[in-house]
């Protein structure tokens, strides 16, 4: 990059920011690596690997890196491609002759489609811990669109790639990655699977509470999540920032390892980092390569950047490299605190050093704990009435309070127009407000309950199919990320609340007891069966079965 005199002040500035953010509550623990394209610049650790034992994070503490695993899975496929053992343009069924997905299209799913998330398959099968079973069970699902037509993120697609890799190598996933990726890059502190033998070395994931079906207020100390074992091509790699920096340097060096050897040939590396399709739902203009993400825009100063982000239960990971500046950063966190803002600023600081520019000032970052709404708070003030209950919202110094049945409690913003409260009548789910076409707050929702600021506005009731009565309720499964689904009817729509109670999604009735989640190109389906006493006991979703608990 440049001289030691400029690098050290930058590292000190970065350390100041992360020390501050950790003190403000960013994760129980953080682990950082800064690198150029040819050497490790610095490592830093903050906080604890386990909030219960208070064991500190060290440079050798292993973290789960979630979807950054996909980069290594893609690299393994490309190494097999280079060695003539796998054709990335070939149909998956040429390797797995039992692979099958229902499709109304003539185009077969290829390895390329899986690598670029353009297969049209469902997103995930979180209820099953086996990539092999997930791959087999895809025969009971249907493609949402013709392979290659568009981007649609698919974890299960990378689990199919895991089965492809293991079928070719005849090895476990960990041994396959070790032979194809980890050893060639000198990544000796990395592992392809989350196994109990690594328990003592691993940071423990953390979350806000033991509740898996509702949002909760952010606590001062998070709790340790349950331990699990995992072998998945989409997300089971564990490593240290120092070790993953070896992989990042390979990306910054056009496919060459630290020792100068050719890990990927120039043509194969070009395939990996080619912007094959735009990745929706991430930074604007981000493109999907094979595993790796590519960003090049005005926000990056025209520089080409390689990106990796990952999330597992209680973990977040970010990897960010600037190819033109020859600089990169890796930041791990053992909680659901997503450190993207911090990671981007750290990389911007390293890029400034490489350009000989003035170091950027410490940024204003999102608050980690709820803040007063200020003037916006007055927009929610008023009375809201449902068919059998009412509440009043008041404001003081930018804070909102909810009063009902003689009890008053504070409202805590989550995002947008959604809030939490400890009021005993409303503490079981998020409370969201709706606005008119003019932007005025006119209603509130909580699960199936609908509250209006003017009870005389709009219809009192909506006609819905009587069959829906059997589906309403709470269903659970032993999923790692999605273990709870709540179904309710609101304003004439059947809605599913998932992802810990943070997401409400309408079910589109396809007839015959089948429903679609998402637009016309979505492959995600749900059906309900095992009707007893007028209630469905099972929800059969594309990603697994959920069972009624209430």
**Could you read off the pLDDT of 339-356 as tens digits, one per residue?**
889 999 999 999 999 999
- pLDDT of residue 245 exceeding 60, the answer is yes
Domains, the chain: 374-452 (2.40.128.50), 466-548 (2.40.128.50)
Provide the 8-state DSSP code for 35. Answer: E
**CA pair distance 236, 66, nearest whole angstrom:** 6
pLDDT at position 474: 96
| Residue 462 in tokens | 């909506």
Q: Quick one: pLDDT band at residue 216, thresholds 50, 70, 90?
A: confident
Q: What is the predicted pLDDT for the residue at 521? A: 94
Average pLDDT of the residues in 127-131:
86
- Where residue 483 falls among pLDDT bands split at 50, 70, 90? confident
Do residues 454 and 440 touch, judged by C-beta distance below 8 A?
A: no
**pLDDT tens digits, one per residue of 50-106:** 999 999 999 999 999 999 999 999 999 999 999 999 999 999 999 999 999 999 999
- What pLDDT, on the 0 to 100 scale, is given for residue 1? 52
Q: What is the pLDDT of residue 478?
A: 84
Alpha-carbon distance 455 to 442, whole Å?
Answer: 10
Percent of the chain whose predicted confidence (pLDDT) is above 70: 98
Q: Residue 456 contacts by C-beta under 8 Å, 6 or more apart in sequence?
A: none
> What is the CA 199 to chain-centroid distance, rounded?
23
- CB-based contacts of 497-500 (< 8 A; 24+ apart in sequence): 497/429, 497/447, 500/211, 500/212, 500/213, 500/214, 500/215
Distance separating alpha carbons of residues 126 and 485, to the nearest angstrom: 13
């509250």: which residue's tokens? 451
Name the band, by pLDDT with cuts 50, 70 and 90, for residue 492.
very high
With DSSP H G I counted as helix, E B as strand and the rest as coil, what are the percentages for the chain, rounded to 5?
A: 25, 30, 45
Note the pLDDT tens digit of each residue in 270-279: 999 999 999 8
Query: What is the pTM for the complete model shown?
Result: 0.94
Neighbour tally for 298: CB within 10 Å: 8
**Phi/psi class of residue 130: alpha, beta or left (left: φ > 0; alpha: ψ in -120 to 50)?**
beta
* Mean pLDDT over the full length of the chain: 93
For residue 115, the surrounding DSSP H or E stretch is helix 111-115
For the chain, the straight-line distance linking the first and the last C-alpha, in angstroms and rounded, comes to 60
For 394-420, write each residue's pLDDT tens digit.
Answer: 999 999 999 999 999 999 998 899 999
Mean pLDDT of 379-395: 95
Residue pair 46/56 in contact (Cβ under 8 Å)? The answer is no
For the record, the structure tokens of 438 come out as: 């003019």
Decide if pLDDT at 282 tops 70: no
State the residue for tokens 């239960």.
313
Other Cβ atoms within 10 Å of 533 Cβ, number: 6
What pLDDT, on the 0 to 100 scale, is given for residue 68?
98
What pLDDT, in 10s, does the model give residues 7-66?
A: 999 999 999 999 999 999 999 999 999 999 999 999 999 999 999 999 999 999 999 999
To the nearest 10 degrees (0 to 180), the angle between helices 69-82 and 241-252 is 50
- What is the predicted pLDDT for the residue at 3? 57
Mean pLDDT of 359-384: 89
The tokens of 320 are what? 């960010």
Angle between helix axes 69-82 and 266-273 (nearest 10 degrees) is: 140
With cut-offs at 50, 70 and 90, classify the pLDDT of residue 214. Answer: confident
- The helix (H) or strand (E) run that includes residue 175 is helix 173-177
């Amino acid at each position: 990059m440049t001289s030691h005199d400029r690098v050290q002040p930058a590292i000190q500035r970065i350390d100041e920011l992360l020390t501050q953010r950790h003190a403000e509550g960013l994760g129980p623990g953080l682990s950082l690596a800064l690198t150029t394209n040819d050497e490790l610049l610095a490592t830093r650790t903050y906080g604890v690997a386990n909030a219960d034992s208070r064991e500190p994070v060290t440079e050798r503490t292993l973290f789960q890196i979630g979807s950054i695993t996909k980069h290594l899975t893609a690299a393994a496929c490309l190494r097999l491609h280079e060695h003539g053992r796998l054709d990335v343009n070939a149909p998956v069924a040429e390797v797995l002759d039992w692979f099958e997905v229902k499709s109304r299209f003539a185009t077969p799913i290829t390895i390329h489609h899986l690598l670029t998330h353009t297969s049209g398959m469902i997103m995930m099968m979180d209820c099953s811990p086996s990539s092999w079973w997930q791959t087999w069970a895809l025969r009971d699902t249907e493609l949402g669109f013709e392979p290659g037509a568009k981007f649609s993120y698919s974890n299960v697609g990378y689990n199919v790639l895991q089965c492809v890799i293991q079928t070719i190598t005849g090895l476990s996933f960990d041994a396959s990655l070790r032979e194809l990726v980890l050893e060639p890059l000198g990544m000796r502190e990395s592992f392809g699977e989350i196994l109990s033998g690594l328990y003592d070395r691993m940071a423990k994931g953390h979350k806000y509470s033991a509740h898996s079906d509702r949002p909760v207020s952010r606590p001062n100390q998070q709790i340790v999540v349950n331990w699990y074992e995992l072998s998945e091509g989409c997300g089971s790699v564990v490593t240290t920032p120092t070790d993953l920096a070896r992989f990042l340097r390979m990306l910054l060096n056009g496919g060459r390892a630290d020792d100068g050897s050719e890990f990927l040939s120039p043509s194969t590396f070009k395939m990996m980092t080619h912007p094959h399709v735009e990745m929706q739902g991430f930074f604007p203009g981000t493109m999907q390569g094979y595993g790796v993400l590519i960003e090049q825009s005005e926000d990056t100063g025209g520089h080409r950047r390689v990106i990796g982000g990952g999330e597992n239960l209680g973990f977040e990971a970010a990897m960010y490299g600037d190819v033109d500046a020859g600089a990169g950063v890796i930041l791990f966190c053992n909680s659901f605190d997503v450190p993207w803002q911090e990671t981007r600023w750290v990389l911007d600081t390293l890029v400034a050093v490489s350009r000989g520019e003035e170091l950027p000032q410490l940024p204003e970052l999102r608050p980690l704990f709820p803040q007063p709404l200020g003037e916006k708070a007055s927009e929610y003030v008023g009375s809201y009435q449902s068919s059998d209950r009412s509440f009043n919202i008041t404001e003081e110094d930018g804070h909102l309070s909810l009063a009902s049945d003689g009890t008053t409690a504070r409202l805590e913003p989550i995002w947008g127009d959604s809030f939490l409260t400890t009021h005993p009548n409303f503490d079981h789910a998020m409370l969201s407000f709706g606005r008119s076409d003019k932007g005025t707050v006119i209603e509130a929702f909580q699960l199936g309950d609908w509250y209006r600021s003017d009870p005389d506005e709009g219809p009192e009731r909506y006609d819905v199919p009587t069959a829906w009565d059997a589906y309403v309720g709470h269903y659970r499964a032993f999923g790692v990320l999605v273990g709870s689904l709540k179904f309710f009817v609101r304003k004439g729509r059947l809605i599913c609340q998932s992802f810990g109670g943070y997401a409400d999604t309408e079910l589109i009735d396809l007839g015959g007891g089948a429903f679609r989640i998402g637009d016309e190109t979505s492959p995600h389906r749900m059906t309900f069966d095992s009707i007893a006493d007028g209630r469905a006991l099972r929800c059969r979703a594309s990603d697994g079965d959920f069972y009624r608990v209430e």
